[in-house]
Amino acid sequence: MRSMSSTADKILDVAQSLIVAGGYNAFSYADISDAIGIRKASIHHHFPTKAELVAALVDRYRQQAELGLKSLQEQFASPADQLQSYLNFWQTCIRDASLPFCVCAMLAGEMPMLPAEVASRVQAYFHMLARWLAAVLQAGAEQRLFRLDERPEDEAQMLMASVHGAMLSARAFNDPDLFVTIVNAQIAKLLVEDR
């Protein structure tokens, strides 16, 4: 990925917070202009269209997620600890409102209306996350840490849906603890009793 200027990074940061707050169609370049204090023409210089802006944002978000997940695997040998650390990341983000909702989950809710170049990147993010979760679940099952009732790929999809659904519930009820309640119940189903 090309090196971005600090202005482009600021534009992406503001766009990310606006998407998390309201989705793809809830913001314009005027909103970014107001937030950063630059002219709309400057935003167009970095990102000629909104679709290009959001595509770049999703690319950056996915790369950050990939690095974060790789870091979890390097930090924690146990698949159970890797999975718990992934969930702890979201718990912290939701509790302190630093990233109260997954950008790609928010965009996925608008999938039929997204430009193709954005939609394909959102799908790529979910494919990447599903592969990582499936690999962690498979490794955990092989080490007898997890009890899987379905194939690792199917369990990964169910877990991913639970995590993103828990984000939605926490937001709907304005209750960060609800996220923890939901995901902990899901993890408890996976853990082998006598570990």
How many other CB atoms sit within 10 Å of the CB of residue 178? 18
What's CA 103's distance to the chain center, in Å?
A: 6
Encode burial over 124-141: b for 16+ CB neighbours within 10 A, e otherwise.
ebbebbbebbbbbbbbbb
Output the six-digit token pair for 37: 């204090």
* pLDDT digits (tens), the chain, 195 positions: 444 579 999 999 999 999 999 999 999 999 999 999 999 999 999 999 999 999 999 999 999 999 999 999 999 999 999 999 999 999 999 999 888 899 999 999 999 999 999 999 999 999 999 999 999 999 999 999 999 999 999 999 999 999 999 999 999 999 999 999 999 999 999 998 754
pLDDT digits (tens, 9 = 90+) for 74-89: 999 999 999 999 999 9
Core vs surface per residue 32-63: b (16+ CB within 10 A) or e: bbebeebeeebbeebbeebbebbbbbbebbbe
Question: Could you tell me the two tokens for 146?
Answer: 């997890």
To the nearest 10°, report the CA torsion of 181, 183, 122, 55.
Answer: 60
Q: Model-level pTM greater than 0.95?
A: no
Between CA 180 and CA 195 the distance in angstroms is: 21
The residue written with tokens 């169910």 in the block is 158
